[in-house]
Amino acid sequence: MEVIDSVKELKKRVSDFRKENKKIGLVPTMGALHNGHASLVRKSTDENDVTIVSVFVNPTQFNDKNDLEKYPRTLDADCRLLESLGATLVFAPSVDEIYPEPDTRSFSYPPTDSVMEGAFRPGHFNGVCQIVSKLFMFVEPDNAYFGEKDFQQIAVIKAMVYDYRKKDTDWAKRLNIRPCPIVREDDGLALSSRNTLLTEEERSIAPYIYSVLSESVDYSRTHSVEETKNMVVEKINKKEGLKVQYYEIVNADTLQTVSSWDEAEHIQGCITVFCGDTPIRLIDNINYI
């Protein structure tokens, strides 16, 4: 497995792979890798000849400087895990390598990117589109892998790729976005790099989020959307140490809120909860229909 930090070298390796007619899978990450990331890498190695994993904590998607500073960075351990998973190449660039000058491009895909994370983290999805579009341009992958843990992110990236496709961009025409299911701890907590920042006590209450979400699926069979939403918010807020930032029950394709269970073919509940005093911001989601 090769580890490279230069865009020029990355493009050279990609062009070699293409000459050899290799199918390329890309897994974008911010590192501090866990089993959730590993599931994306496994799917990519199953479906492609070559798997490229990027490890880059992208500053432009952080609207909170403190969050960016405390984000865990563990490149050596990440590389050991990726090697054991059979990744072909790790791209771990510096910030200057990715942004030799400020990226002034602006991306907007309303209404997908204006609700939920888009509303509570201004500029977040613009930063995500900046880095992911750069990675797509450098690698021109056949398949790119994203976790459903970041449910809204997948919808925004799909909207971005669709937009590039409409502009007849070659890399966008080739690319398939491959969503991957959420990987959880045995107690239900969705794996996240941020979980390492939880104290022992916070870690012990965090699984309550998924336990209430799971309970709400049964509850939804006999209650309205509004009642289900209220039940989730009230139960979680009653637990000491947890505070819901938002809980929205949405059409899984458009991410717009629904008011009844027959309003969309697929319906998802998306939540963000602050855990503990620091606090650590945890996201999760669940499928109703």
The binding site for ligand AMP (CB under 6 A) comprises: 29-30, 36-37, 39-40, 146-147, 149-150, 180, 182-183, 190-193
If residue 83 lies in a helix (H) or strand (E), which one and from where to where? helix 75-85
Residue 124 known to be catalytic: no
CA distance linking residue 226 with residue 167, whole number of Å: 40
Quote the least distance from Cβ 19 to ligand AMP, whole Å.
Answer: 29
Token representation of residue 128? 């995500």
CA distance linking residue 261 with residue 226, whole number of Å: 10
CA distance linking residue 88 with residue 86, whole number of Å: 6
Sorted by sequence, the CB contacts under 8 Å of residue 105 that are 6+ apart come out as: 129, 130, 133
- Residue 194 DSSP symbol: G
- For ligand AMP, which is the closer residue by CB, 121 or 229? 121
The torsion region of residue 186 among left (phi > 0), alpha (psi -120 to 50) and beta comes to alpha
Quote the least distance from Cβ 221 to ligand AMP, whole Å.
Answer: 26
- For ligand AMP, which is the closer residue by CB, 147 or 276? 147
Q: Which of 37, 124, 223, 266 is catalytic?
A: 37
- For ligand AMP, which is the closer residue by CB, 76 or 218? 76
Q: Which residue is nearest to ligand AMP (CB)?
A: 147
Among 254, 246, 212, smallest CA distance to 231 is for 212
Quote the least distance from Cβ 195 to ligand AMP, whole Å.
Answer: 9
Quote the least distance from Cβ 29 to ligand AMP, whole Å.
Answer: 4
Q: Residues with catalytic annotation? A: 37
